[in-house]
Amino acid sequence: MTSPSANVKLVSNAMANATRRKIMAMLVEKERTNAEIEKAVGAAMLDYHLQMLQQAGLAEIKDGTVILTDFGKNFMETKSAEKPAESINDLSGTKPLQIMEIRQLLPCIADESKFRVISRLEPALGGSLKLVEPLFTRARYSERIGALIIQSGNILITLYSTGNVTMTMIKSEAEAKEILENLKNTINKAIASGVTPVPREKVKVDHAEIYEYLPKTNCQICGEQSCYTFAIKLVGRETTLDKCTPLLEAKYTTNLEHIRALLEYL
Ligand code: SF4
């Protein structure tokens, strides 16, 4: 028989994962088939997630349907009763966004064939902005600057809680408009559905990705043997970005912005 402390550990491990929390939230509403769960959370490791929930005694599978156990129901009820009022935060009441005019199109310092764009979406999302982070594949909300940083290839989009938007490495005004339109539509779709995106696990960043944006001169100014070593130490938090002073050169402006964005993911 499993001891009570082992049970607590199993439950805590099971609920430590965002996908499993999402499955539990779905099961609170009603029982679900495997296919329904797969549609909502994806097929990756679904069997493993369900197994973790079963081992913790939170859910069980009966006739191909996943249901909450009595323990699972009690657990979820207690959890929602414990939730402090101020932590309940969703997109309901949020007004759809509109694109205001693109205010500035400036040449990028790093690459003059590209532009840095400053624009604005209204109304400002304020505190709701962090809730839309899971809508984007590569995005991270930074509490420090109060902005959502979204990566799309070489383009870096920073949407501030004030409504201001900056974009780097943009080819043309038409491209800027298209990106803004997609950004607006993605967020408005979530607002219209009335469903707040489920928080997901952190976007993973590794040293190889950071290395791509370093100067790659191996100049050793940072005190490391190579840019690659510096990238490894940055990810391990054994050094700080300001040690690479070459990154302050104008030609590396965009690289620096990208690395800063990636470090927000750590
Ligand atoms: S100072 Fe920057 S460019 Fe020079 S080795 Fe270190 S990481 Fe590379």
pLDDT in tens, 201-255: 777 788 998 999 999 999 999 999 999 999 999 988 899 999 999 999 988 988 8
Q: Of 193, 218, 249, at which residue does a domain stop?
A: 193
Could you tell me the pTM of the whole model? Answer: 0.60
Do 102 and 189 reside in the same domain of the chain? yes
Is residue 214 lining ligand 1, measured as CB closer than 6 Å?
A: yes
Cα–Cα separations (whole angstroms), residue 214 to 55, 142, 230, 236, 247? 45, 22, 9, 16, 7
Q: Of 164, 193, 222, at which residue does a domain stop?
A: 193
Looking at the structure of the chain, the number of domains it has is 3
Residue 229 Cα: closest atom of ligand 1: 7
The answer to whether 105 and 117 have CB atoms below 8 angstroms apart is yes
Do 66 and 115 reside in the same domain of the chain? no
Is residue 227 lining ligand 1, measured as CB closer than 6 Å?
A: yes
Greatest Cα-to-Cα distance within the chain, rounded to the nearest angstrom:
68
Q: Round to whole Å and give the CA distance between 36 and 66.
A: 10
Q: Is the dihedral of CA 19, 21, 22, 27 positive or negative?
A: positive
Ligand 1 site-directed mutation target among 211, 212, 220, 227, most atoms within 8 Å of CB: 227
Do 175 and 211 reside in the same domain of the chain? no
> Does the bond joining 123 to the residue before it have cis omega, within 30 degrees of 0?
yes
Domain of 253, CATH number, reads 1.10.15.40
Residue 201 inside a domain? The answer is no
Ligand 1, atom 6, lies closest to the CA of 222
Ligand 1, atom 2, lies closest to the CA of 244
Is residue 217 lining ligand 1, measured as CB closer than 6 Å?
A: yes
Say which residues have a Cβ less than 8 Å from residue 147's Cβ, sequence separation at least 6. Answer: 129, 141, 158, 159, 160, 161
Do 183 and 129 reside in the same domain of the chain? yes
For residue range 29-86, list pLDDT tens digits in order. Answer: 889 998 888 888 888 788 888 999 999 899 998 888 999 999 888 888 877 655 443 3
Ligand 1, atom 4, lies closest to the CA of 219
Residue 47 inside a domain? The answer is yes
Do 166 and 186 reside in the same domain of the chain? yes
Is residue 191 lining ligand 1, measured as CB closer than 6 Å?
A: no
What residue numbers bound the domain in which 218 lies?
207-264
Do 237 and 157 reside in the same domain of the chain? no
